Structure 1
Amino acid sequence: MSNNKTNRWLILFTGIFANLCVGAALAWSVFRKPLMVLFGASVSQVTIPYTLSLALMPISMIIAGRIQDKRGPKLAMFIGGLILSASYFLSGYATNIQFLYITYGILGGASLGAVYSCTVVNTVKWFPDKRGLAGGLIAAGLGAGSIIFAPLGVSLMKIYSPLITFQIFGVIFLIVISFASIFAVSPPAGYKPEGWTPPISNLASINSASSIDKSWKDMLKDPLFYIAWVALVLACVSGLMIIGHAATIGQEVVGLSPAVAAIGVSILGIANASGRAVWGIVSDKLGRFPTVSLIFLVSALSMFLLSYMASTFLVFVISIVGIGSCYGGFFGIYPAITGEMFGLKNMGMNWGVMFTAFAPAAIFGPLLAAQVRVNYGDYSWAFIIAGGLSILGIILTRYAQSVVKKNENSKNNKVA
C-alpha cells in the first residue's frame, strides 16, 4: 500500500465514529431506572448486564487483536460491528432482566472489544509521531458515546419503551460501524510519516532490539507488565463506578430530576472524551508515568470531593468532570504505554491482554457502589474506597517509574 494513497486522518476520524457506537454502553445509567420499573428488578440485577458487557470486553479484544495482527483490522471490526448491532436489537425482545444478561451483557461484551481494539491499535500504528494525541483522540470516541446516546436514549424513551430504544440503537450501530470498517486498513511495515525522524526515547532504550517487539507470552514475563496491569485496574475502578451509577447518584445524592441527571451523564461523557485527548497530549510532553501519577491524584481528589461535598449540582459536576477526565485519560495513554514498552508488531494482542485489567474493575467498581448503597443507604463509602485506591495507584506508578529508571541506568552502564 502506498503511503501517498492513504489518509491516516480519515482512518482516525472514521474510527472515532465507530467508537461512538461502542461508547453507547457508557450511557447505561439512563436505562437503569426505566428497566427497574419495566421488569421489577433490583439495582443489583439491573447492574449485571452493564457489568457483564464490560467484563467480557477484554476477551473480544484479545480475539480481535489476534485476527488484526494476522489479517488486519477490517474483518475483525466488521464482524464486531455486526455482533454489537445484533446484541442491541435482540435486547429489544427481552421479557425479563435475565434475558438482557445474555443479549446486552454476554453478546454485547463479545463485540465491544473487537471494534474498540481495531480502531485504537490501528490508529496508534498510523501515528508513531503523535501516539499520545492519536490514542487519546480515537479513545475519545468511546468516551463521547454517552454524550450522544445518553440524551438520545432519554428522548427516545419518552416516546418508545427502553426495548424499542435498544433496537433503534442497534440499527444505528450497524450502519456506522459497517461504513467505518471500509477505511480500516493497516499501515505498511515500518511506516513513518513523511518528514518525520523517530527520536530515541528513554523508554525505548530500556528494551533491546530483540525484545522491542515482544509477543504476549514474552510480555507476561516482564515485571513491568504486572505493575502496569494492576495500576490499570485501580485506574478503572473510580470511572466505571461513576459511569455505571451517574444518573442515579445525581438523583439520589444531589436531588436532580431524571432529565437534569441525564445532562450530568452527558457532562461526564464530555469529560471522559476530552480527557483522553488532553491527557494524551500532556503525556507526550511530560512522559507517560508522570502523567499517570498526576491523573491518579486528580481522580482521588475528585472522589473525596464527591463523598464529602456533593450537595449541589455545581459540586457534582466538578467531581464527575474530574473523575471522567481521569478515567478517559488512562485509556488515552495506555495504548501508547503498551506499544512503547512491548513494541507495535504484536500490539493488537498485547493491548488486548493488557486490557484484561478492565474486567476486574468492571465487576468491582459498579457492584461495589451498588452494594454500598444497599448496605448503608448511600454511596459515600464507595467514593472513599475508590479515592483510596487512586492513592495506591500513585504509589504503584511511582514504583514503576523507579523500575524503568533503574533498568535504563543499568543498560547505559553496560553500554559504557
Structure 2
Amino acid sequence: MNYESKRWLYLGLCIICNICAGIIYAWSVFVKPIADHFQWTIADASLSFTIMTTVGACLPMFVGKLQERVQSRMILIAGGVLLGGGLLALSSTTSLTQLYIFSMVTGLGLTLVYPSGTVSNIVKFFPDKRGLASGLLTGGASLGAVIWAPVGAILTETLGVPTTFKLMGIVFMVTIVFAAWLVETAPAGYYPHTRKDDASARTGATEIADTVTTVQDLDWKDMLRSPLFYMIGGAFFSAATSSMMFFGHVSPIAQDMLGISAKAASGVVVLLAIANTSGRMVWGWISDKLGRFKVINILLVLLVIAMIGMTQVSSYFAFASMVMIVGLCYGGFFSIIAPLLADMFGERSLAVNFGIMFLMVGAGAFVGPRLAALLKIATGSYVQAFVTAGVFNLVGIGLVFLASSYWKKQTTESAELFVQLSEK
C-alpha cells in the first residue's frame, strides 16, 4: 500500500491527539480552582498532578510492549476513552480519594495517547524524516499547554470546575477516538518509495552516511546490554535534571532575582512554554540535517551558556533570553529521543525502548526541581543551582562524546563486516 500521502494525514491526526493530551502540562491552572471548589488545600489538590505525571513516566515501557501485539489505533482509542472518561469522572468528584483515583485514570489515558499511542508508531512512517515527525508530535503536546492554560482558566472561572472537566472530557474523548480510528499501524520496514534510492536521505539521520550498513533491531533486553543505552540515558538524565532545576522554579527564580511580582513573572513562564514548544518542533528537523549527536551537543553547550548567564543577569530582558534558551533546548531533547533510539537500536522494538528511555528523562524531571529547592534552602539563592545545572550539562557533553565515538566505531565495523561478507 502507498502511504506517501497518508503518512502526513496520520501525523496531523496524531498531533491533534497530542494537543489534547497536552492538558497535563497546563494542569497547574486547575489546581487552585479544584482546591477552592472542594475546600481542600493546594497541597492536596496538586497531588493529582503528581499522580498523573508519575503514571505518565512509568507506563510507556509497558504500553510499548503491548503495542507489539495491539494496533496503535486501539491504544489511541483506549487512551481517548480513559482520558475523556477520567475528566468526566473528575467532574463528579466528592472526595480526595476519588480525586486521586480519577487522576490516575486520566493519567493512564494521557500516557496511552502521548507518547505511547502516537510517537513510536508515527516515527516509523518517517524513516527519512524521523526528527521532523518526532519534533512535530512532541511539539503538539507542548502546544497543548499554551492552548489549554488560558482556555482552562477562562472556563473554570465562568463555568466552574465540574462543568469545565465535563466539557473537556467529552471534547477530548470524541476528538481522539475519531482521529485514532483513521490512523493505521506502520508496516514493518516501511520506507517511502519516492525516496527509496536516496542514500543520503536514508542515512542522513545517523552520524555516518554509509549506504551498506543497516541498523540491527534490538529488543529492550539487548538494548540494556549495550553501553550506548547508558551513555545516552545518562546524557538525557543530565539534561533533564539541569533543565528541570530551572523549569520547576522559573517563577520564584524570576521574583527572587529580579524583584518582580508574581504576575510579571508569569510572563516569563509563558515565554518558557513557547520556547519549549518551538524547540520540540525545530530541533528534531535540524537533527535530520546535522545528525542527532551533533544537535544534542549543541543543546548541551547552549544550556551551559544559559546557566552561566543566569548567574550574571540583572535585567528582565536578559533573564527572559536565558529562559528561552533553556526552553528551546529542553524541548529539543524530547524531539530527539525517539529518532535517536530508532537510529541506534532499530524500529521493531521502538515503543518499548522509547518507554524505557522515557524513564530516564522522567527521573531527571523528578530530581531536578527538588535538587534546586534543596540548594536554594542551603545557600539562600539560586546561583548554586545554576552552577550545579551547568556541571550536569558538562557531564552530558562527555557522555555524548563517548556515545558518538562508540557509535561510529560500531557502525564502521558493521559496514566492514557487511562488505567482507558480500565479497565472499
Q: TM-score, normalised by structure 1?
A: 0.86
Q: Distance in 1 between matches of 2:341 and 2:3?
A: 28
| Equivalent of 2:317 in 290, 297, 314 | 314
Whether 2:329 is the aligned partner of 1:331: answer no
| Residue identity matched to 1:133 | L
Q: Distance in 1 between matches of 2:264 and 2:296?
A: 32
Q: 1:16 to 1:345 in 2, by over 3 A?
A: same
Match of 1:392 in 2: 395
* Structural mapping, 1:85-124, within 5 Å: 85-93=84-92, 100-104=99-103, 106-116=104-114, 117-124=116-123
Whether 2:176 is the aligned partner of 1:177: answer yes
| Residue identity matched to 1:114 | L
How far off is 1:51 after superposition?
Answer: 3.5
Asked whether the 8 Å contact 1:213–1:344 carries over to 2, the reply is yes
Asked whether the 8 Å contact 2:21–2:141 carries over to 1, the reply is yes
Q: Distance in 2 between matches of 1:193 and 1:367?
A: 45
Match of 1:56 in 2: 55
Question: Tell me, what secondary structure is at the counterpart of 2:68?
Answer: helix
Q: Distance in 1 between matches of 2:178 and 2:140?
A: 16
How far off is 1:251 after superposition?
Answer: 5.3
**Superposed CA offset, 1:64-94 (max 9, x none):** 2223222220011111122222333334455
**Superposed CA offset, 1:169-205 (max 9, x none):** 3333223222221222113333221321253636689
How far off is 1:305 after superposition?
Answer: 3.2
How far off is 1:122 after superposition?
Answer: 1.5
Q: Distance in 1 between matches of 2:171 and 2:382?
A: 35
Moved over 6 A (4+): 208-211
Match of 1:40 in 2: 41
More displaced 10-residue stretch of structure 1: 267-276 or 74-83? 267-276
**Superposed CA offset, 1:234-253 (max 9, x none):** 22224444444445555565
Q: Distance in 2 between matches of 1:345 and 1:49?
A: 35
How far off is 1:99 after superposition?
Answer: 5.5
Q: Distance in 2 between matches of 1:114 and 1:301?
A: 36
More displaced 10-residue stretch of structure 1: 239-248 or 73-82? 239-248
Whether 2:237 is the aligned partner of 1:233: answer yes
Match of 2:79 in 1: 80
* Structural mapping, 1:139-218, within 5 Å: 139-161=138-160, 165-197=164-196, 199=199, 201=203, 212-218=216-222
Q: Distance in 1 between matches of 2:108 and 2:364?
A: 17
Q: Distance in 2 between matches of 1:338 and 1:288?
A: 10
Whether 2:268 is the aligned partner of 1:270: answer no
**Superposed CA offset, 1:36-64 (max 9, x none):** 7653335xx66543333223224331232
**Superposed CA offset, 1:79-119 (max 9, x none):** 11222223333344556767644433x33432322211221
| Residue identity matched to 1:353 | I
Q: Distance in 1 between matches of 2:268 and 2:397?
A: 28
More displaced 10-residue stretch of structure 1: 133-142 or 352-361? 352-361
**Superposed CA offset, 1:117-157 (max 9, x none):** 22111111111111111111111101211111122223234
Question: Tell me, what secondary structure is at the counterpart of 2:225?
Answer: coil
More displaced 10-residue stretch of structure 1: 73-82 or 189-198? 189-198
| Residue identity matched to 2:390 | G
**Superposed CA offset, 1:255-286 (max 9, x none):** 55565544433332221121112111221122
Asked whether the 8 Å contact 1:29–1:244 carries over to 2, the reply is no
How far off is 1:224 after superposition?
Answer: 0.6
| Residue identity matched to 2:365 | A
Q: 1:29 to 1:299 in 2, by over 3 A?
A: farther
| Residue identity matched to 2:357 | M
Q: 1:191 to 1:361 in 2, by over 3 A?
A: same
Q: Which has the larger radius of gyration?
A: 2
Question: Tell me, what secondary structure is at the counterpart of 1:290?
Answer: helix
How far off is 1:343 after superposition?
Answer: 0.8
Q: Distance in 1 between matches of 2:239 and 2:404?
A: 16
Residue identity over aligned pairs, in percent, reads: 35
Q: TM-score, normalised by structure 2?
A: 0.84
Q: 1:155 to 1:91 in 2, by over 3 A?
A: same
Q: 1:318 to 1:399 in 2, by over 3 A?
A: same
Q: Distance in 2 between matches of 1:98 and 1:385?
A: 38
Q: Distance in 2 between matches of 1:245 and 1:30?
A: 16
Whether 2:284 is the aligned partner of 1:280: answer yes
Q: Distance in 2 between matches of 1:294 and 1:280?
A: 13
Question: Tell me, what secondary structure is at the counterpart of 1:195?
Answer: helix
| Equivalent of 1:348 in 346, 351, 362 | 351
Q: 1:396 to 1:50 in 2, by over 3 A?
A: farther
Match of 2:13 in 1: 14
- Equivalenced residue count is 411
Gaps of 5+ in 1: none
| Residue identity matched to 2:295 | T
